[in-house]
Amino acid sequence: MSKRNKVLLGGGGAVLLIVLVMVSASAKGEKGIEVRFEQVGRRDLVAAVTASGKIQPKKKVDISADITGRITRIAVREGDFVQKGQFLLQIDPTIYQANLQRAQAAMSQAEAGAVQARATRDQSTRALTRTKELREQNPNLISQEQLEQAQTASDIAEANLTASQHLVEQSRAGLQEARDQLAKTHLVAPMAGRVTRLAVEEGEVAVPGTFSRETGLLLTISDLSVIQTKVQVDETDVVRLHLGDSVEVTIDAFPDTTFIGRVTKVSNSAILTAASAAGGSQSDRAVDYEVEITLSNPPAEVRPDLSATARIITDTRKQSLAIPIIALTVRENTPISTEQRSGGRGTAQAATPPPAPADTGRRGAGNKKETEGVFLVHNGIATFHAVKVGIAGEEHFEVVEGVHQGDTIVAGPYQAIRDLKEGARVRPSKESSDTTARRRS
């Protein structure tokens, strides 16, 4: 074979290869992008807010030391159930008993002084009276100076009596204080409940918690008859919560059981973190609010501070028109051709301007307004349609307007929806076919 024939043969082969590649690409393009189809239908939707927190009794009392002293006896153990007024703990009363005796002695001394002062006052009063009478009968018998001295002595005696009476009152107050201090060495339960925390041992020194509540804490008694779950809810979700909302609570210690409760309190102020309390900025920190949930069927073995997760039901819809969450995407708000549907499904009408942007429109890159919507499929062509959505379920959005029941939309995968262009040709994936077959069967 000549060199010229070889060149011609090689060139023909290359042209043939290029033609084959172009035909393959054209066929692939005509075949369309493989996506998952789904028909718009109706389903029950439940909007919920999930938050984590801890189990807490509705009422608990932290018993702290009000005096300083060594603990000589502890009559309860952690986990014990106690009745109101039951003896709990004894602090060494020796010093306080001595203080009480000292106060009693001071009280007796003050009372004796008051009796003496009253007698002196009475005597000076009688002397003043006699001096006045003698002065009136015969001025020459009592001089003016003697009368003034008697008056002065009476005034001094009256003042001494008043001071003695005040000293008695002061001593009485000191005696009462000493009694109160002694009583604080003998601690009893302020309410019925379970001892959920015992922070001290016999022999330790109880110290009043002047600057820290934890410093003087001796034990905690909790009323476990009413159990609550306290969770932290993000600021973007707390506005959706209302008193009385139904809640499903799962406790990590009881993994196979779901407990039912109700929202009984939504805090009006954010949780104060250590950084914010120190004056730090919260501009780059999440803001959470505390929400209290009262359980209607708490387990008998429940304990405070168990970790729990609450699913708060904020709204429900029965047989609402819905689309998959993954199907919702955004596009720049530019005029696009749409098919106006009225009456039946898939009936093509004259092209009209797109519907008004949904309320959920956002500002995108370059400050261009974007519209939320879905890609509807008709005759293998995907067109973007703006939609207005309502509540969000676990996997679906409620559709308020924009599509109709039975419309076919692109429902995945995510990357394909993100890259999908207006008017692109699409074809159903194997997953779509299997899903459709299962629904028909």
Sorted by where each begins, the domain ranges of the chain are 31-45+318-440, 93-183
Reported residue count of the chain is 441
Report pLDDT for 80: 94
- The DSSP H or E segment spanning 155 is helix 144-183
Report pLDDT for 226: 92
Report pLDDT for 78: 92
Query: Tens digit of pLDDT for each residue in 130-160?
Result: 998 888 888 888 888 988 999 999 999 999 9
Report pLDDT for 32: 80
Query: For the domain 31-45+318-440, what is the CATH code?
Result: 2.40.420.20
Report pLDDT for 126: 93
Spans of the chain, pLDDT less than 70: 1-30, 210-214, 273-285, 333-368, 431-441
Report pLDDT for 406: 92
- Preceding amide of 299 cis, omega within 30: no
Residues 6+ apart with CB under 8 A from 116: 164
Report pLDDT for 13: 57
Report pLDDT for 271: 87
Task: Please answer whether residues 264 and 290 qualify as being in contact, where contact means their C-beta atoms are separated by less than 8 angstroms.
Answer: no
Long-range contacts, stretch 206-212, CB < 8 angstroms, 24+ apart: 206/65, 206/67, 206/68, 206/69, 206/70, 206/71, 206/91, 207/65, 207/68, 208/64, 208/65, 208/66, 208/67, 208/68, 209/64, 209/65
pTM of the entire structure? 0.63
Task: Please answer whether residues 330 and 305 qualify as being in contact, where contact means their C-beta atoms are separated by less than 8 angstroms.
Answer: no
Report pLDDT for 359: 40
Question: Which DSSP state fits 297?
Answer: S
Report pLDDT for 30: 57
Report pLDDT for 351: 32
Structure tokens at 191: 């309410």
Report pLDDT for 432: 62
Q: How far is 220 from 308, CA to CA, in rounded Å?
A: 21
